[in-house]
Amino acid sequence: MTEFTDPACPWAWGSEPVFRRLRHGLAPRLRWRRAFGILFDEDDDPAPDPDAEARWYEGFIEGVAVHTRAPYAARLHWLTRTSWPASVVAKAAEAQGEQVADRVLRRLRETTFVLGRPADTLAAAEEAVQGVPGLDVRQLLDERALSAARDAVRADRAEARRPLAEVYGLQGPGPHPGRAKELTEGHRYALPTLLFEGPGGRICVPGWRPLRDYLDAASTAAGTPLRLPAPLGPDDASALWRSLTEPELRSLTSGSEPPADAVRVVTANGPLWLHPDEAKHHPATKAQAAGVSDNETPKGVH
């Protein structure tokens, strides 16, 4: 399965409850690969009014969250200037294992959607991933590792710009049907898009979809019905994923209540729940300690 994504995409951020459930539940049968589609490219023209552009995208994020219920920062301090640094760092983290890579990408997403300060430079990405369990930051930022990761992201970007004919001109269903995005040089997959391939064929599921659509596509590609195991308990889910939104509590756990020891981070659209060990290193807790949290009152971590 290939996931076309970008660290700064609000639809991809809002799809995490479903994607996490799929990745975990189908792990014995499914090889999950991420392809970074580069939502914000390096040669995009700079906005004539950066603050107005940030306010526009802030409104776009809020509009997406009406459907996804995902958290977002009360203020987006700037629009992501380029997706390349976060994508390259996330790709480089894959050399250190799937779980480490998942946690690195999650931290990078949260710089936009929890902090409102996108990690769109290498230095910001490095700061965001400090303290990720199992991550060797020196190995991550090795020049050869970054060079190889950049080549891989360049290939991802090119792959995302060769969408299947079936995603051109889609009109539905839902608020984000996944129609191929028209660009000046052609088209790319909408983000996110999942592409399942297996003995039963190739199935493309673009845009914002319910869990059942993805599970049906996976079953078709596998050539056999697939079922997900029962959700985890809240404590086990917190230990595994370390950072949970309220939609993720409902999707990934056997209840809707967070673990008693979870650390609550307030956002403009519901809390983020952090495992206590995650909270020790998370950028949101660092921002609160420095007195620079911008989310709605009551601010910061409780």
pLDDT of residue 43: 80
For 134, counting Cβ atoms within 10 Å of its Cβ (0-12 exposed, 13-18 middle, 19+ buried), the class is exposed
Lowest mean pLDDT among 71-75, 201-205, 292-296: 292-296
261 pLDDT exceeds 70? yes
Higher local confidence (pLDDT), 43 or 94: 94
- Asked whether 6 and 39 are in contact (CB, 8 A), the reply is yes
Sorting pLDDT into bands at 50, 70 and 90, what band is 215? very high
pLDDT of residue 293: 59
Report the mean per-residue pLDDT for the chain. 93
Mean pLDDT of 7-17: 98
87 pLDDT exceeds 90? yes
Sorting pLDDT into bands at 50, 70 and 90, what band is 290? low
Q: What percent of the chain has pLDDT over 90?
A: 87
pLDDT of residue 302: 31
Sorting pLDDT into bands at 50, 70 and 90, what band is 111? very high
Sorting pLDDT into bands at 50, 70 and 90, what band is 173? confident
Tokens of 125: 């990405």
pLDDT of residue 250: 94
pLDDT of residue 300: 36
The residue among 164, 251, 196, 187 whose CA lies nearest residue 3 is 196
Mean pLDDT of 9-29: 96
90 pLDDT exceeds 60? yes
Report the predicted TM-score, pTM, of the whole model to 2 decimal places.
Answer: 0.94
pLDDT of residue 124: 97
pLDDT of residue 270: 96
